[in-house]
Amino acid sequence: MEIVNLAQVSTFNFSFMRTYLFYDLETSGLHHAFDQILQFAAIRTDENFHELERHEFRVHIRPDVIPSPEALTTTKIDPMEFRGEMNEFEAVRRIHQLVNVPNTTSIGYNSIGFDDLMIRHAFFRNLLDPYTHGYANGCKRADLLPIAIIFRQFNPEGINWPHKEDGTPSMKLELISKANGLADGMAHDAMVDVEATLALAKKLAANKTIWSWAMEYFDKNTFNSRLEKYVEHKPLGAVGQLTWGLLMHNRIGGNAGYQAPVIYMGHSNMKQHLFLQLDRADLAELNETERKEELSGVWRCKYGEPPFILPFERLQKDFITDERRALMKSNVQWIKENWVEWQAMCQFQMDYRYPQVDGVDTDDLIYNGFWNDSVKKQNAAFHQARDWQERYDICSTMKDETTRTLGRRILFRNEQQLSPELSMAQMEFFTERWTDQKILDKTGKDRFTPHMALQRIQELYDDQEHPLSEEDHNILMSYEEWLHERMANFE
């Protein structure tokens, strides 16, 4: 099949077939709501990984974004390159179209852990449905990282699995690509990472049985049915029984085989299964408050998302040190002797809700409820408008305060001075963001400010243990100059 290389969203109709969309982002930082996509790359393939089309574009930095210095040195994006091929509004509309082509499985490397959260927030911020690419019209999401972990631990043949310099196993895509010659070019370039992800997927999928089994974890119904099938119920003396499983996740670490023994705590109303990692905290050493409010090792597993739960019998005992084994045994004994308190701990976790934060910035209100049909209709009209004046008029009629604010911010960010009132509101909006005024995210954390960025740049200059390369030093000098120029506009 002929490969299509288009700068714009494809006009080819792939909806009649199942496709993979391998994608990657480079971003201005790690904050899902306050940072933005700077580079997007994607390759669409059929189910046999034959390339159908590819897309790559860079994005203008929004006038209200303060990039992380580390993001710039990691991606090697110089501030002189901040003017991309299109603004965020147009870029995000294109991404939304690509991931919502019917029967598309969007997949990246650690994509559910990071990239998908970035694009969801970008969709929300630009009045596009942030969820349809995960369920509507046959669309699905997947993530190659947890699949690769399964292969590394249980079927490692055919891949050179890398280690860090200290001998610790590593699942970094950059190291896997280098060890296996998956892609040429600089790591943390979006298209290079997409090519590496696709090449790794091809190698893993050669074992069709394990590949299909692992991919099915991203189906919510399969996830739940496997959970019921895989967990093991073991009696705990006369007090009751514990439900055991094996949890796999990159965060557990390679020295532990990316796996941990867990026991089931219950099900929350937020569509999560709760598990306690048995080799994390010593329950006997904690007080009652710590065992509830400050308990470490609680995993909240959302349906169809990592971490994966496997049968406890798949635990690879070579990774269970004597220390881990002793802590497991101690915690099981504590639960047996304190059954009533254990049940109270489980109930606390099931009932737990994240605390409400007052004054959360509108950009981070994605989880404040789903849009109703009326809001969706107005959002669609906003995108279908003939010009910015019509979008401004639509904003004026929006009854929902959140979407009205988001719509006006789209106008601000695209420098649309359509009325004196809008121009004044635009100046106030940007002044807030460039003069270190307090802006909160949904956790109550302060937004990254220009002075925070300057302070962090100086810390990187002064870090003698991790000296900057000449290239990184030049990038930070350019960024520092860029910051001062922007800040001067709002003094």
CATH number for position 4: 3.30.420.10
238: pLDDT confidence band, cut at 50, 70 and 90? confident
R_g (Cα) of the chain, nearest Å: 24
Same structural domain, 291 and 376: no
- Residue pair 267/273 in contact (Cβ under 8 Å)? The answer is yes
Residue 193 has pLDDT above 70, yes or no: yes
pLDDT of residue 418: 84
Residue 212 has pLDDT above 50, yes or no: yes
Last residue of a domain, one of 188, 216, 244: 216
pLDDT of residue 240: 86
Q: Which residues, in sequence order, are CB contacts of 90 under 8 Å at separation 6+?
A: none
Same structural domain, 380 and 459: no
Same structural domain, 226 and 342: yes
Q: Which residues, in sequence order, are CB contacts of 443 under 8 Å at separation 6+?
A: 354, 357
Percent of the chain past pLDDT 70, that is, above it, reads: 97
Last residue of a domain, one of 189, 216, 243: 216
Which tens digit of pLDDT belongs to each residue from 349-380? 999 988 899 999 999 999 999 999 999 999 99
100: pLDDT confidence band, cut at 50, 70 and 90? very high
Which amino acid would we find at residue 224?
Answer: N
Same structural domain, 65 and 183: yes
Which tens digit of pLDDT belongs to each residue from 271-280? 899 999 999 9
Same structural domain, 23 and 164: yes
Same structural domain, 210 and 230: no
- Residue pair 316/259 in contact (Cβ under 8 Å)? The answer is yes
Residue 1 has pLDDT above 80, yes or no: no
Domain presence at residue 24? yes
pLDDT of residue 269: 75
Domain presence at residue 325? yes
Same structural domain, 53 and 150: yes
Task: Give the C-alpha separation, 121 to 423, whole Å.
Answer: 25
Which whole number is the average pLDDT over 286-313?
93
Domain presence at residue 149? yes
Domain presence at residue 439? no
| DSSP secondary structure letter of residue 447 | P
Which amino acid would we find at residue 112?
Answer: I
406: pLDDT confidence band, cut at 50, 70 and 90? very high
Same structural domain, 334 and 377: no
Token pair for 346: 């489980």
Local structure of 412: helix, strand or coil: helix
Instruction: Name the burial class of residue 253, with classes exposed (0-12), middle (13-18) and buried (19+) by CB atoms within 10 angstroms of its CB.
Output: middle
Last residue of a domain, one of 351, 374, 408: 351
Percent of the chain past pLDDT 90, that is, above it, reads: 85
Range of the domain at 315: 220-351
What distances in angstroms separate CA 154 from CA 109, 206, 244, 259, 316, one per listed residue? 19, 15, 20, 12, 9
Same structural domain, 158 and 235: no
Domain presence at residue 442? no
Residue 5 has pLDDT above 60, yes or no: no
Domain presence at residue 356? no
Domain presence at residue 441? no
Average pLDDT, the chain: 93
DSSP code string of 222-260: HHHHHHHHH-EEEEETTTEEEEEEEEE-GGG-GGGTTEE
Number of domains in the chain: 4
Task: Give the C-alpha separation, 191 to 41, whole Å.
Answer: 5
Task: Give the C-alpha separation, 405 to 416, whole Å.
Answer: 15
pLDDT of residue 416: 74
Residue 439 has pLDDT above 90, yes or no: yes
Which amino acid would we find at residue 327?
Answer: L
Token pair for 224: 């739940």
445: pLDDT confidence band, cut at 50, 70 and 90? very high
Same structural domain, 83 and 32: yes
Helices (H) and strands (E) in the chain, counts: 17, 12
Domain presence at residue 284? yes
CATH number for position 296: 3.30.1520.20
Which whole number is the average pLDDT over 309-325?
93
Residue 11 has pLDDT above 70, yes or no: no
Residue 6 has pLDDT above 60, yes or no: no
Same structural domain, 148 and 130: yes
pLDDT of residue 81: 76
Same structural domain, 190 and 298: no
Which tens digit of pLDDT belongs to each residue from 58-67? 999 999 999 9
